[in-house]
Structure 1
Amino acid sequence: MRASLGAAYDLGYHGGWCSKYRRPVLGGRVKDRLEGLIRVKGGEHGWGIVAVEVTPGRVRLLDEPYSKNSPSCVAGRFKGFISRHLRAEFAHLRSSLPALWSRSCFVATVGVVSAETVRRSIETRYEWAAMGGGRA
């Protein structure tokens, strides 16, 4: 639960976005740096980062922003900040892709399902998929 002047709220966003053309460019050192950048950007704005999953072509995130931050604003801030830093640090991301991210993103508010349930879903996704539960 968070509070600001005149408001109390418990808000979480479960979001995700893909690399341009879903190319598998988010592995190894890029993945490690990307996770760090997410935590840096979240810290800059005071957004709580609950869970992060980075696969070679996709990022999934559960964060707790302030109530004044719209879902598209939060996703856009993360995508722009991360793209600028990763493309400056890793030359292969500049040469192999015209842009790091696709234009779209997915964002859902966490409400009916608890934030803890979404966090467990993000952390155990591959275990579930290995048991035949679906795509990873």
Structure 2
Amino acid sequence: MYSIQYHIVWCVKYCHKVLLGDVDTRLKEILNQLATDNDFTISEIESDCDHVHLMIDCSPQHSIPSIIKALKGVSARLLFKEFPQLKKKLWGGNLWNPSYFVATVSEHTEA
């Protein structure tokens, strides 16, 4: 039995505020579908114009780099395809900043 949770955050390249309206809605749909396809769960998802926060639950077999690669890579490809106007703001073909933040989340806290 296991309970592995991670808080993950990544930013849009150059901090452009492009995660609005339909782009934001579609991003969340894509990320949830990718989680389902890859056998992990996104328990919380929030975005704020230029960055994404996720809380994920996964098995010990999942590695953070592979999860991040799947989420960022596929979401960028699909969003560029479905919203070609993004390429005008984000020249160079990159939607996401290459770095990310990750922290483990514990259900247990000390008093």
Post-superposition shift, 1:24? 0.2
Bigger radius of gyration, 1 or 2? 1
Report the residue type matching 1:105 in the other structure.
Y
| Structure 2 counterpart of 1:44, from 37, 59, 66 | 37
Match of 1:101 in 2: 96
State how 1:1-136 maps to structure 2 within 5 Å.
Answer: 8-97=1-90, 98=92, 99-111=94-106
Task: Give the TM-score normalised by the residue count of structure 2.
Answer: 0.90
Alignment gaps of 5+ in structure 2: none
Alignment RMSD (CA, Å): 1.4
Moved over 6 A (4+): none
Structure in which a larger fraction of residues adopt helix: 1
| Higher relative contact order, chain-length normalized (CA < 8 Å, sep 6+) | 2
- Aligned residues with identical type, % of pairs: 32
Q: For residues 112 and 71 of structure 1, what CA distance do their matches in structure 2 show?
A: 19
Q: Which runs of 5+ in 1 are unaligned?
A: 1-7, 115-136
Please say which of residues 9-18 and 70-79 is displaced more in the overlay. 70-79
